[in-house]
Amino acid sequence: LNLTAPSIINQGQLMSQLGNINMMASQLTNSGAIQAMSGSISARALVGNTLDVNNTLGSIVARDSLVFETTRTLFNADGSIMQK
R_g of the chain, CA atoms, integer Å: 15
* pTM exceeds 0.85 for this model: no
pLDDT tens digits, 1-21: 999 999 999 999 999 999 999
| Beta strands at 52-54 and 74-75: parallel, antiparallel or unpaired | unpaired
- Span 61-77, mean pLDDT? 86
67 residue type, one letter: V
Give tens-digit pLDDT for 23-41.
999 999 999 999 999 999 9
CA dihedral defined by 56, 59, 65, 70, rounded to 10 degrees? -30
Strand partners, 84: none
Instruction: Calculate the average pLDDT of the chain.
Output: 91
Q: What is the DSSP letter of 39?
A: S
